[in-house]
Structure formats: C-alpha cells, structure tokens
Amino acid sequence: VEAVLAAAEEQEAEKRRSITVEKELELEYDLGNLLAVDRNPPSAAALRGAGPRREALLQALARDNTQLLVSRLWELPAERAGGAGGPLVAQLPEPTFRLPREKPPPKPRPPTRWEQFARLKGIRRKKKTSLVWDEPAKEWRRRWGYRRAGGDPSRAWLAEVPAGADPDEDQFARLRREKRERVARNELNRLRNLARAHRAGSAVPAAPLHPTGHQDRDELRRVARVARVSTASLGRFQPRLPKESAEPPSRSGGKKRRFEPLLGNLAAERSRQLELLRDMGSKKPVLDITRAVNKQMRQEEAEAAAANKGKKQSKRGKRGRRQQRPGRSGKKSGVRRQPQQQKPAGGGSGG
C-alpha cells in the first residue's frame, strides 16, 4: 500500500513540476491589467551573446514568467458564462497600477441663478409624466415636441382678443412676437449663466499655477503676482529680483489718484515752490515746441501705418518695407537734430 501511495505522490509531483517555476524573487502581479513585473536581474552575460542563443534565453524567460502569470489568472474565481457549455470566464479585479488620467476630472458647474433661488426657497422639482392625455385626439400624447398634446401651435386658427387690448391689433402677430421675445430672453439668460460660471471658474485658476511650459509672459506675470501675494503678510516682505519694480502693486490697479499729505515734507514743499517760481520767471518756454511737433508727427505716422497695414502690406512686400525704412528714419533724425542742441536743462516736463 505504501508503495502505491508513494507512486501516486510521485505522479502528482511530476504533474505539478510541469507548471511550477522557480524564481528568486516573487513577481508582482496586477491582474486587472494582466501585468506581471519580474524583479530578478536577468543574466546579463548570457544575454549579451549573439542572436539565436539570446532569443532562446529570452523565450525561456518569457515562458517562465507567463506560466506564473497564467497560474495566477487561473486561480481567480471563474464561472461558465452563458450556461453550462459556455466559455470559462474569470472575474478580474480592479487594476492597481496607477496610470495618469487622460483629462482632468470633471468639475461640477456652479448653480444658475434659478437653482440658487430654488435652493434658498426650498423649491424642488416636480416629477412630470412624460405623456399627457389629449382630449380632442383621445389618446396619450407627448407633453411637448412632435405631435404634442395641445395640437400644433402654429396651426392655431383662433386668437381671442383679450379684454383691455386694442381692437385693431393683430393678435397672431402679437402671439408670434411674444414667443420670439420669450425665446430671446431664455437664450440671454442661458448665456448670462454661462458667463457667470466661466467668470467664477477663472477667478481661481488652479491648473495654470503649475508650470506647463506653454504660458506666455502675461500669464507668468499674473501667476507670479498671485504667488507673491499668497503669503501671510500679503507679499509685503517678499524679496524682489533686481529688475522687478519696487513698489507694491495697488489693489485698484492704479485707477485712484493719490495725494501728498498736507503737512508732510517741508523741505520738499519748499523746493517745489522755488522751482515753480523759477519756471515762471525764466524767459524760455516750458513746452519744447520742436519735441512736441516731433511727437505729434510720429504719432500720426504710426496711425497711418496701422491703418494701411491691412490694405497695403501685401502690395509693398518685405523688400518695399525694408527700403522704406532708411528713408523714414533719415527724415526723423533730420528733424530730431534740432532739439538735441537746444534741449533745456530742467524744462520740458510735458516733452
């Protein structure tokens, strides 16, 4: 009897041997993705060899790993799909290998004006039936849409004149006009809600605060300003770069005028008053006419260029524009030479 048992055990072991694989380190499995990772360092020396031996080695390695993975997969709870004769189907677990998403998760949109009001008042949606009983047609019809319950509104042949209305008014025209107005108002409200949601979303842009490499200068400046102000002291003691502007950015963006205090720096007030007297007494004009004229001319030229840009750019082409420039600058430099000589020391505040 013992011999028989031993022989049976031998046979079992023999069978098992064909599917067992010896490995130093266990593989890591992610069965949801049908993935297996083998951490054992492969024999580098053997694999460095030439073609067919390497292929054979790689195939042997692959066979072992696949055997392990398939054994794991066949151990999963399986059932016969589609009755007794159907294929054997295993339930896969959730994939555990973390992979980056394709798009950011969807953000819930902010509630519309009506939704806010309804929440405030506690108004809830009444569930409506999809079909309504239509008495004249004696059947169930849709609430709105194709073949609706109240008959086709465009074929209404009777329009009652309401009590206080003008008898000469065209009632059909009035109904049509009112419908158009209602549709327009609806569309306007929808666009307003969209704009409100968009504005609320862009007030706190979370994604652009991460550098993507595609931001332009203004965006970067805005992001840098947000980052500076987001300290406990609202950015007052943050160190600055050598070329950055020194004063803190005003919250109103420079719209309000700022005045000097009344009883402040006496020395500064004195020097300002003396300068004013000096300018009033001097014979030279405060306004430098040549510079003013130059500035005006330059402005007009710029405007003319901007106006002609759309029309004449194709005509003149690159070469035409390149030839134009030395001529232009010659004219400018010629005019400018005059004020360089007469430039007064302290005048020309307006320039």
The token duo for 170 is 């065209």
Residues 49-78 that bind other proteins (CB under 8 A): 55, 58-59, 61-63, 65-67, 69-71, 73-75, 78
For other proteins, which residue of 6, 7, 8, 92 counts as binding (CB under 8 A)? 92
CA distance 120 to 113: 11
CA distance 8 to 117: 80
**Nearer Cβ to other proteins (106/167):** 106
Shortest Cβ distance from residue 50 to other proteins (Å)? 12
Spell out, one character per residue from 11 to 40, where the chain touches other proteins: x when CB under 8 A holds, - when not. xx-xxx-xx------------xxxxxxxxx
**Nearer Cβ to other proteins (11/273):** 11
CA distance 292 to 350: 8
Place of tokens 């055990």: 9
Does position 96 bind other proteins by CB under 8 A? no
For other proteins, which residue of 52, 136, 167, 211 counts as binding (CB under 8 A)? 211
Q: Which amino acid is at 130?
A: S
Does position 125 bind other proteins by CB under 8 A? no
Sign of CA dihedral 222, 224, 230, 231: negative
Q: Contacts with other proteins: how many residues (CB under 8 A)? A: 65
For other proteins, which residue of 4, 41, 136, 251 counts as binding (CB under 8 A)? 41
**Nearer Cβ to other proteins (105/239):** 105
Which of these ranges, 81-89, 233-241, 299-307, 312-320, lies near other proteins under the rule CB under 8 A?
81-89
Does position 254 bind other proteins by CB under 8 A? no
**Nearer Cβ to other proteins (29/132):** 29
CA distance 57 to 51: 10
Burial group, residue 290, by CB count within 10 angstroms (0-12, 13-18, 19+): middle
Count Cβ atoms below 10 Å from residue 149 Cβ, excluding itself: 18
Sequence-distant (≥ 6) Cβ neighbours of residue 250 within 8 angstroms:
256
Phi and psi torsions of 30, nearest 5°? -130, 95
Which of these ranges, 130-138, 173-181, 204-212, 264-272, lies near other proteins under the rule CB under 8 A?
204-212
* H/E stretch holding 141: strand 139-142
Place of tokens 């400046």: 221
Binding site for other proteins (CB under 8 A): 11-12, 14-16, 18-19, 32-42, 44, 47-48, 55, 58-59, 61-63, 65-67, 69-71, 73-75, 78, 81, 87-92, 94-95, 97-106, 109, 191, 194, 197, 207, 210-212, 214
